[in-house]
Amino acid sequence: MSQRASTATPVVRRIRPAMGTMASVHVHDVAPVSEIEAAIDELFVELDRLEALFSTFRPDSEISRINSGAIHPVDCSREVIDVLDACTWLEQASAGAFDIRRAGLAGPIDPAGFVKGWAAERAAAALARRGLEHWYVSVGGDIVVSGEPSPGERWRIGIADPFRPGSVLASLDIADGAVATSGTAERGSHLWNARGGVPPATFVSVTVMGPSLAWADAFATTVFVMGEPGIEWLAGFDGYHAAAVRADGSILASAALA
């Protein structure tokens, strides 16, 4: 098993494209660099494998083949079935605010609102399986961390200012856990409230902190489209808290973060 890195220990970092965005890995363990690099390689192999299953931009992915009618969902891999089941549960739990289909259309399924965080968390497990304890993984800004960056410290995660690119609005200090953000600052109006089929207008970004990146990511998307009632809705899930930036620049946060 590795040891905790001291402040003088070099950190192994890797960044590369994955899941249609950029992924970065920082490992702060004291361990042979070859072992750390092998664990990171395994992480990226898993991200690539999951992207091949879920990408709506690849005609041979299982999601694209479901949409083309080439296969039925029940004939898909276990991972695809699990993700579709989770999305179905979230659709029901959010009273239809979250949906992998755009409201009013019998259109193609797209589990992107759930799968990026889920895939990042699943791939990051490769580091733990190899005995690494102190690391940070980010896939397109969806972040999962373990342990400490240095003894006695927590990971400091910045919340981007949606009105000033490159600026940080606030920060969260966490140990083991996850942070995910949904919003329109980088990709424009790509999120839709399935209840009405129109872009939500209350928030420009929602950041959710919690124990699981899969659900932090999914909840961030759901709270974004629900608007202010979404903050209260999120309070029903133990360990998850949100900080949302309204269109006028003001901030609405869960009680634990306020």
Mark the ranges of the chain whose per-residue pLDDT is less than 50: 1, 6-8, 104, 187-190, 192, 195, 198
pLDDT of residue 176: 94
Confidence (pLDDT) at 3: 58
Q: What are the φ/ψ torsions at residue 200 (nearest 5 degrees)? A: -70, 150
C-beta of residue 226 within 8 angstroms of C-beta of residue 136: no
Residue 183: the pLDDT is: 86
Q: Which residue has the tokens 């209260």?
A: 232
CATH of domain 9-253: 3.10.520.10
So what's the pLDDT on residue 188? 43
Q: How many angstroms separate the CA atoms of 254 and 240, rounded?
A: 9
* pLDDT at residue 220 in the model: 96
pLDDT of residue 53: 97
Taking the C-alpha atoms of residue 132 and residue 143, their distance in angstroms, rounded to an integer, is 17
CA distances in angstroms from 124 to 83, 131, 150, 166, 250, listed in the order given: 17, 12, 19, 26, 34
Residue 37 is predicted with a pLDDT of 97
